[in-house]
Amino acid sequence: MANVSVIGCGHMGSALIRGLSRSDSHRIAAGDVDPDALEPIAGLVAETTTDPAAAAANAEFVFAALTPEVVLPAVADLGLGADQTLVSTAAGVSTDQLAAVTDARVVRIMPNLAAEWGEMATAVTGPGVSPELLALLEEVGVAVELEESLMDTATALNGSGPAFVFYFIRALQEAAMECGLDRREARLLATQTFKGAAEMVLHTDEELDSLIDSVCTPGGTTIEGMRIFEDSALETTVGEAVEAARERSAELAEEAGDE
């Protein structure tokens, strides 16, 4: 059983708590300066406190799920020791910047909100990465260790990515509603289609082009829809969205470095 602390229990911190608490195999202490953020997760953890340093005091792994503007002073105030591992989720804040304000081993991750359901995609980097930490992250999804220089790209891909996928599901849902389905039917069918397609990709090494071909029966329906995508700027637009998010992550890194 690991002693885990989550500092900052907003969207990301509470998703990590919900995911990690499902197994009952860790002692989780939650700290947030806002008591309202602690209330929804109080029943899932051993301890909640508005004193973040107290929540972090006995933890082997301290997740700092804090916004980039506050993470450095907030981590400094935790007073962590060299036997602890700090795991920061803050977009654009480097391991060097974190190491400058703490004695703890430092790890930077780019997680996403699917932690809540054990389906998080996480990019991990930093000198404090250990097999124990990777095992902890894999309890709530998949962890991929990357060079730190690629973390801005991971921020765009798997950090921001859920919003991009929600956008696409909404577009499919709206299109189906235009053609007669009610909202509930359209939402469920569109969403399960995403989930099923993702499962297929996860369970095969087959190229994506080949998977597309397997649905595109010649003379059938899919090929007509795919022609519209291929004649559009959709692929370029997706690339531009990822690049815009990646650039913003790099800007946040510069802003954090200026402070």
What gap in Å lies between CA 80 and CA 176, rounded to an integer?
52
Could you say whether residue 37 binds ligand NAP (CB under 6 A)?
A: yes
Task: Give me the residue whose beta carbon is nearest to ligand NAP.
Answer: 10
Q: 6, 16, 66, 133: which one contacts ligand NAP (CB under 6 A)?
A: 66
Cβ nearer to ligand NAP, comparing 9 with 129: 9
Report DSSP letters for 164-231, one per residue. Answer: HHHHHHHHHHHHHHHTT--HHHHHHHHHHHHHHHHHHHHT----HHHHHHHH--TTSSHHHHHHHHHH
Could you say whether residue 211 binds ligand NAP (CB under 6 A)?
A: no
Assess contact for 159 and 114: CB atoms under 8 A.
no
Could you say whether residue 12 binds ligand NAP (CB under 6 A)?
A: yes
Find, among 168, 218, 217, the residue nearest to 194 by Cα.
168
Could you say whether residue 7 binds ligand NAP (CB under 6 A)?
A: yes
Structure tokens at 194: 């995403």
Could you say whether residue 32 binds ligand NAP (CB under 6 A)?
A: yes
Could you say whether residue 10 binds ligand NAP (CB under 6 A)?
A: yes
Could you say whether residue 111 binds ligand NAP (CB under 6 A)?
A: yes
Q: List CB contacts of 184: < 8 A, sequence separation 6 or more.
A: none
Could you say whether residue 90 binds ligand NAP (CB under 6 A)?
A: yes
Q: Which stretch binds ligand NAP (CB under 6 A): 3-11, 144-152, 186-194, 238-246?
A: 3-11
Pairing of strands 120-125, 141-145: parallel
Task: Give the interface with ligand NAP as residue ranges (CB under 6 A).
Answer: 7-13, 31-34, 37, 52, 65-68, 70, 74, 89-91, 110-113, 159
